[in-house]
């Protein structure tokens, strides 16, 4: 059994949108820190969620509505990470 796949499916099914986004963001940040220890991932909730990854040189921003998160969450737990890389 693929335990990480089972855990991702559980989170996609039972986490609310905010908790899901926070978890995925922490996972992305851990990966980014392996590549460059100056990365920082931040989430701000305004009208929509503003997701930002900074490393001093580059800023990557993504705006997500709760509905977009819900759609990505139902699709697959990893989809937000894929959307960030677009």
Identify which has the larger pLDDT, 38 or 80: 38
> Does the pLDDT of residue 80 top 90, yes or no?
no
Residues 16-64: tens digit of each pLDDT: 888 888 888 998 899 999 999 999 999 999 999 999 999 988 899 999 9
Could you tell me the pLDDT band of residue 70, with boundaries at 50, 70 and 90? confident
Identify which has the larger pLDDT, 15 or 53: 53
pLDDT reported for residue 82: 54
Identify which has the larger pLDDT, 69 or 4: 69
Nearest residue to 27 (alpha-carbon basis) of 13, 43, 16, 50: 43
């Amino acid at each position: 059994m693929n335990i990480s796949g089972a855990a991702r499916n559980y989170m996609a099914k039972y986490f609310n949108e905010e908790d899901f986004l926070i978890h995925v963001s922490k996972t992305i940040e851990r990966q980014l820190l392996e590549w460059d220890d100056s990365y920082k991932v931040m989430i701000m909730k305004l009208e929509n969620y503003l997701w930002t990854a900074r490393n001093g040189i580059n800023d990557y921003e993504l705006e997500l509505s709760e509905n977009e998160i819900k759609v990505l969450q139902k699709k697959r737990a990893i989809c937000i990470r894929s959307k960030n890389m677009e």
